Amino acid sequence: MIFFTDECFMYKANALLEAFDRENEIRPLADHFDKGTADVVWIPAISQWNPKPVVVCGDGRILRNKVERSVLKAAELTFVCLAPGWTNLEWSPFAWKIIKAWPGIVQNASLALRPTVFEVSPQTLKIEKRYHL
pLDDT given for residue 133 in this prediction: 77
Task: With cut-offs at 50, 70 and 90, classify the pLDDT of residue 59.
Answer: confident
Domain with 78, as residue range(s), is 2-132
pLDDT in tens, 18-48: 999 999 999 999 999 999 999 999 999 999 9
pLDDT given for residue 78 in this prediction: 97
CA separation for the pair 86, 107 (Å, rounded): 20
pLDDT given for residue 119 in this prediction: 97
- Give me the number of domains the chain comprises: 1
The arithmetic mean of pLDDT across residues 116-133, rounded, is: 94
Q: Which region, left, alpha or beta, applies to residue 113 given φ > 0 means left and ψ of -120 to 50 means alpha?
A: alpha
Answer whether residue 50 shows pLDDT above 80: yes
Read off the pTM.
0.95
